Structure 1
Amino acid sequence: MACLGAALGLRCTTRSLRRSHRSRRAGWLMLGAVSIGCGIWTMHFIGMIGFSVEDAPVSYDPVLTLLSLGVAIGVVAVGVFLVGYRDAAPLNLGVAGVVTGLGVAAMHYIGMAAIRTHGTLRYDVPTVTLSVLIAVVAATAALWAAVSIHSLWSSLGASLVMGVAVTGMHYTGMAAVSVHVSQQATASQSSADLMSFLLAMLAGPLTVLLIAAVIVMFDPDLVLGDGEWSPR
């Protein structure tokens, strides 16, 4: 999912810079930011489905879960618009990469804060720091690729690297977590109810990614026009 979101986001960003009216550039950049943000968040939340605590039920606070989605889209939009309108000069790229990387890390840890279980979550500070560093490096590389790589196959290759890097950040962050169970308890939420909640949370971002994929697939300028790129 992280790779898919990155691939769609890179193609939309490329489209915004190629023969697009400035009035349309914002729309393509926003679609790219939403695609990348939804891809990152969907990867994160699918990963969270695999998280369990022995002898304790796990559920999620819906408000914090949705907040983490909003943060993911918002910070990616900041970075994409910075490089989309102000180019990839080193200083601008560095600022955009740091802001976006810190935002992606914030998304992850807000999502972790949404966990409700009979225990206390504790974090290993050096591992958390490493996960934030990975997020910043991955975000900077992604933003550089968004404005520097324009061919279809190069974008797909870059999206694979981005997806692996962001996923690496997620599991580095998960490696920092330990749960100290305070009491044993039977699950207060059935598996069916929990799965229904998780599927409902995933439905929106997955629909957005599907719509973005359809738009990209039916835009011949994105798929076939790589040789005619010219920035505005």
Structure 2
Amino acid sequence: MGHLDHATFGWLTPVLSYVMACIGAALGLRCTVRALGASGRSRRNWLLTAASAIGTGIWTMHFVAMLGFSVSGTDIRYNVPLTMLSLLVAMVVVGAGVFAVGYGRDRGRALVLGGLTTGLGVASMHYLGMAALRLHGDVTYDPVLVGISVLIAVVAATAALWAALNIKAPIAVAVASLVMGGAVSSMHYTGMIAVGVRVSPSGDLLPGATAMQFIFPLAVGLGSYLFLTSAFVALSPTAGEREASASAQRPVESAAR
């Protein structure tokens, strides 16, 4: 068996990946709450932003964490199309979950469906990302730990969505996003503990791209997207603020007449 190291760069990758997951979750949950206060095209756009934020957050979390992953006795490469597919799957499946919450008639059922779908989105993204791994040897999984990792993702996604929808204080969304970020990270590392690698040393060149060639630039790009979108969402007025400013302008207009 090859020795697996999950933190080649010490605490840097686990901490950075957790931060990315939290930012994505905070932005996604905030957008979901904003979507429920909007209607028509505006609601759809907020939900699309929420899905892209959570999807980007979990993808960046996974691959930033993977930058710290190494196996003794073999190099690691990533299959580029599969890696890109994992990002797409994350956004589409999380999107389905977020839309279930945004358009659900029955709040309770919408929450269960949304949490289940979003959680499965997190898990499917993780294992698709793992399927993109190329190394000299065979990768095996402990099915019990894989099951636990999927369960963590589903329970946490449901809890985070519930908190974001039911508790209106800004601190609650912050706590919910820390919980969701923590859950995505613990799901990831539970999934990684489930991995065993039987290395068969070989001088052959591995197909695919190295993490630094491909994963790192993409993670930086997606991270920048998250930060910029967060700033935009933080600065855009809520429906309540828009109403307040509109009613404040009315007396001024009538006084001007």
Asked if TM exceeds 0.5, the reply is: yes
Scaled to the shorter chain, the TM-score interval is: 0.7 to 0.9
User: SS at the partner of 2:201?
Assistant: coil
CA-to-partner distance for each residue in 1:200-223, whole Å, 9 max, x for gaps? 22144223212311211211328x
| Offset, 1:186 | 8.0
Shift of 1:128: 0.6
CA distance in 1, matches of 2:153, 2:106: 18
**Corresponding residue SS for 2:225:** helix
Which residue of structure 2 aligns with residue 106 of structure 1?
Answer: 124
SS across alignment from 2:71? coil
Match of 1:183 among 196, 201, 204: 201
Structure 1, unmatched stretches of 5+, are none
Tell me which amino acid in the other structure corresponds to 1:113: A
Alignment-derived partner of residue 8 in structure 2: none
Q: Which residue of 2 is the match for residue 195 of structure 1?
A: 212
What corresponds to 1:13 in structure 2?
Answer: 32
State the alpha-carbon separation in 1 of the partners of residues 205 and 163 from structure 2: 45
Q: Which runs of 5+ in 2 are unaligned?
A: 1-19, 245-257
Do the aligned residues in 2 keep the contact of 1:10 with 1:145 (CA within 8 Å)? no
Q: Give the deviation of 1:88 after TM superposition.
A: 6.1
Flag the 1:95–1:21 CA change in 2: closer, same or farther, 3 A: closer
- Contact 1:10 / 1:32 at 8 angstroms: preserved in 2? yes
Shift of 1:151: 2.3
Question: What does residue 67 of structure 2 align with?
Answer: 49
How many aligned positions are there?
Answer: 222
Correspondence for 2:77 among 51, 59, 62: 59
- The one-letter code sitting in structure 2 at the alignment partner of 1:67 is L
Larger displacement relative to structure 2 (71-80 or 208-217):
208-217
Amino acid in structure 2 at the alignment position of 1:199 = F
TM-score, normalization: structure 1? 0.88
Instruction: Judge conservation of contact 1:118–1:182 (CA < 8 Å) in 2.
Output: yes
Note the C-alpha offset of 1:56.
Answer: 0.3
Which stretch shifts more, 92-101 or 60-69? Answer: 92-101
User: In structure 1, what is the equivalent of residue 159 of structure 2?
Assistant: 141
**Are residue 120 (structure 1) and residue 138 (structure 2) matched?**
yes
Contact 2:135/2:206 (CA < 8 Å) preserved in 1? no
How far the C-alpha of 1:90 sits from its partner, in A, is 2.5
What CA distance in whole angstroms lies between the structure 2 residues aligned with 1:31 and 1:45? 21
Following superposition, the deviation at residue 28 of structure 1 comes to 0.7
Between the aligned partners of 1:33 and 1:103, the Cα distance in structure 2 is 11
Q: Structure 1 residue 17: deviation in Å?
A: 1.9
TM-score by length of 2: 0.80
Q: Which has the higher contact order (CA 8 A, sep 6+)?
A: 1
CA distance in 2, matches of 1:163, 1:59: 26
Give the ranges of 4+ consecutive aligned residues of structure 1 lying more than 4 Å apart after TM superposition: 186-189
Q: Percent identity between the aligned chains?
A: 50
The answer to whether the 8 Å contact 2:29/2:50 transfers is: yes
Distance 2:105 2:25 in 1: 19
RMSD: 2.2
